């Protein structure tokens, strides 16, 4: 019997990982990218892509852990910095992760994964995919999966009003890749700083085209002092990054006295509304294609879950497709494949949406308790690796009360 043929549109984390996994399982796979590996390498940064251990485990299982000597992220730090009292840390703690995280610039990673994909027998097709191209793929393939989150194709997937929490962007986003930042003293970490009413700043080590770097991530509340990125040159973007740190987070500014941009493409700014979309899109012919990762569940980067979600969606789809065997890929199968991922992703979306809101009393209590109790800090830090755990103890007042009460039982 001929191998089943699957076409994946989009050569990002989810598309590449799924494509390589399917090749290893004996499928015929075509991967469609609108950019060549060289164009990706020479282009702009697209993400901060810090991946935690479970997501990295899916790469390891496919032999895709290609950067053993890259910088690692060993912990999570959390600080609350009241804007009315610059230089004051109202709350602060850090804890090691049980297993390290890692961030590889996608300009480094994706060309390398594309090379692996072709070396393992995949067909890499460089073209812009619109509706007409999707029709062509759907006619020639047993299954078409869309893993490209932008453009005409992504617009085919309609918003799921029941599962989407926000209708508008909640943050003005900016990334700044730099060399020369002073390393954190104890151990490397995602240093997360919350400035109430202004936004959030977090920073962590990574590997970029020119070697180890630090990625600065700014999440400005719309209309705030941190919503100040539009129309800046690369150098102005760096200067604005440092201005914000000097004004609100002097302990972070102290690490940045000698920083410079990694490259002129090492900046990014923009905003988008976190959105869940229906996973099936119907083409004019009546054929359907299946969305994955950011196409169907797009979260704000505040919890750093984008690449992690992509890796876990690819793993869920890979498992589901292999388990399905020789049966046909009808719409019920496609919907079910997405639901198997949504079982996990709904917890990520819920937690991420909660972190975008002003923190309720029980969240402040938990974060405050983490300052005094290393067990709580450890559990919060490792929630980044497996966000469904937050539902057990963090997401509701009752769960938080029960959890905190377990450390001080009433006799």
| Nearest alpha carbon to residue 309 among 380, 384, 215 | 384
User: Which residues partner with 290 through β-bridges?
Assistant: 145, 280
So what's the pLDDT on residue 411?
A: 42
What DSSP designation does 369 have? H
* Cα 175 to Cα 241: distance, rounded to the nearest angstrom: 9
347 pLDDT above the threshold of 80 = yes
Q: Are the C-beta atoms of 224 and 216 separated by less than 8 Å?
A: no
Place of tokens 């388990």: 323
So what's the pLDDT on residue 1?
A: 58
> Which residues fall within 8 angstroms of residue 116, CB to CB, at 6 or more apart?
20, 63, 64, 66
SS3 sequence of 311-358: HHHHHHHHHHHHHHCCCCCCHHHHHHHHHHHHHHHHHHHHHHHHHHCC
State whether residue 71 is helix, strand or coil.
Answer: coil
The pTM is what? Answer: 0.96
CATH no. for 73-103+168-270 = 3.30.9.40
- CATH class entry, domain 5-64+105-165+274-355: alpha beta
* Cα 297 to Cα 160: distance, rounded to the nearest angstrom: 10
Q: Are the C-beta atoms of 230 and 269 separated by less than 8 Å?
A: yes
**Mean pLDDT score across all residues of the chain:** 95
> Which residues fall within 8 angstroms of residue 147, CB to CB, at 6 or more apart?
8, 9, 10, 11, 12, 14, 15, 18, 291, 292, 293, 295, 310
pLDDT tens profile 203-251? 999 999 999 999 999 999 999 999 999 999 999 999 999 999 999 999 9
Q: Are the C-beta atoms of 153 and 130 separated by less than 8 Å?
A: yes
Q: What are the angstrom distances between the C-alpha of 19 and each of 12, 44, 291?
A: 10, 24, 14
What DSSP designation does 5 have? E
Neighbouring C-beta atoms of residue 45, cutoff 10 Å:
21
* Mean per-residue pLDDT, 76-102: 94
Q: Are the C-beta atoms of 13 and 114 separated by less than 8 Å?
A: no
Per-domain boundaries in the chain: 5-64+105-165+274-355, 73-103+168-270, 369-405
So what's the pLDDT on residue 152?
A: 80
Neighbouring C-beta atoms of residue 57, cutoff 10 Å:
16
pLDDT tens profile 302-334? 999 999 999 999 999 999 999 999 999 999 999
pLDDT tens profile 156-166? 999 999 999 99
């Amino acid at each position: 019997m001929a191998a089943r043929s699957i076409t994946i549109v989009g050569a990002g984390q989810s598309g590449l990982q799924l494509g390589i996994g399917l090749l290893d399982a004996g499928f015929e796979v075509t991967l469609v990218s609108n950019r060549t590996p060289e164009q990706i390498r020479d282009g702009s940064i697209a993400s901060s892509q810090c991946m935690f251990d479970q997501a990295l485990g899916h790469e390891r299982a496919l032999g895709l852990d290609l950067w053993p000597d890259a910088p690692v992220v060993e912990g999570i730090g959390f600080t609350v910095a009241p804007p009315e009292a610059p230089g004051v840390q109202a709350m602060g703690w850090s804890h090691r992760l049980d297993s390290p995280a890692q961030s590889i610039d996608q300009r480094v990673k994706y060309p390398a994964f594309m090379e692996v994909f072709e070396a393992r027998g995949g067909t890499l097709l460089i073209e812009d995919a619109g509706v007409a191209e999707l029709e062509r793929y759907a006619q020639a393939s047993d299954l078409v999966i869309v893993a490209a989150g932008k453009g005409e194709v992504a617009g085919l997937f309609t918003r799921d009003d029941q599962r989407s929490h926000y209708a508008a962007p909640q943050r003005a986003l900016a990334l700044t890749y730099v060399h020369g930042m002073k390393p954190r003293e104890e151990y490397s970490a995602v240093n997360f700083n919350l400035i109430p009413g202004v936004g959030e700043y977090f920073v962590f080590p990574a590997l970029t085209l020119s070697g180890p770097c630090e990625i600065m991530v700014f999440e400005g509340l719309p209309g705030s002092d941190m919503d100040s990125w539009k129309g800046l040159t690369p150098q102005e973007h760096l200067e604005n990054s440092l201005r914000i740190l000097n004004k609100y987070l002097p302990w972070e500014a102290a690490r940045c006295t000698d920083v410079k941009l990694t490259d002129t493409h090492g900046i990014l700014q923009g905003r988008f509304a976190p959105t869940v979309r229906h996973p099936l899109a119907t083409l004019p012919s009546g054929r359907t294609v299946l969305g994955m990762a950011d196409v169907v569940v797009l979260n704000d980067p505040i919890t750093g879950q984008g690449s992690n979600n992509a890796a876990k969606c690819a793993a869920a789809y890979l498992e589901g497709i292999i388990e399905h065997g020789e049966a046909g890929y009808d719409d019920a199968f496609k919907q079910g494949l997405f639901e198997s991922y949504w079982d996990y992703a709904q917890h990520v979306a819920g937690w991420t949406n909660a972190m975008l809101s002003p923190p309720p009393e029980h969240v402040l209590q938990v974060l405050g308790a983490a300052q005094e109790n290393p067990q709580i800090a450890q559990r919060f830090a490792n929630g980044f690796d497996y966000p469904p755990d937050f539902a057990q103890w963090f997401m509701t007042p009752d769960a938080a009360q029960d959890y905190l009460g377990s450390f001080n039982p009433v006799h």
